[in-house]
Structure 1
């Protein structure tokens, strides 16, 4: 009886650990002349998301700043492609953060997700923190 409990607990642990999404983040380097941003405007973000993105960049919102931060959460809708349906898609959507000045993109980071958009958002935020700190160290 004791071994049965251990066995089922072990299987449950394997199932939970095996379900974690391990998608990478894709980023372009910050391409401003200084390699950093002097100010940012977080446009169109909900309050909680804005706070998290603002914390990741380490720069407070400045509504008069020309560098605009946008967040895109894209979830693939109904797919009618027979090949994708038979094999299964690699991901169901992505989370992307972009910093633009006008139409010019100065920084972009994205992570795909299969089922967990929140985990993708957290991966993107972690990568933003890393990128911003690397740029600060190199200047």
Structure 2
């Protein structure tokens, strides 16, 4: 059962529900974050990044949203990124997967959303984490484009 697979998402939903009871809030916060120039992205990195950042959240939401809809309440929150809306060098793959998650989240707001499920995305700006260390000065340059 690979990370980002349909089976992994369904298994996680089943295990979480068994351990905690009905799930009220789902936060889609997974993230594969490869840094590489466009021509150096491998097919394996491409497939893994889309599996973790878009496919996994899609099938996890698909597994849990119907339960929320049945109860008439719930929340789905997707953590995306500002680079889902602004192209940046070295992270086009990451940004494109989070753009996909942004659109999925908007679509979920129209599908399970009307069944009293609150669906939103949060798109943070540059954040210093171990994962963003590889951006080096690029992270500072990205931060400089923001007003705050």
Question: Which interval holds the TM-score relative to the shorter structure?
Answer: under 0.3
Higher strand share: 1
TM-score, scaled relative to structure 2: 0.24
Q: Which structure has the bigger radius of gyration?
A: 1
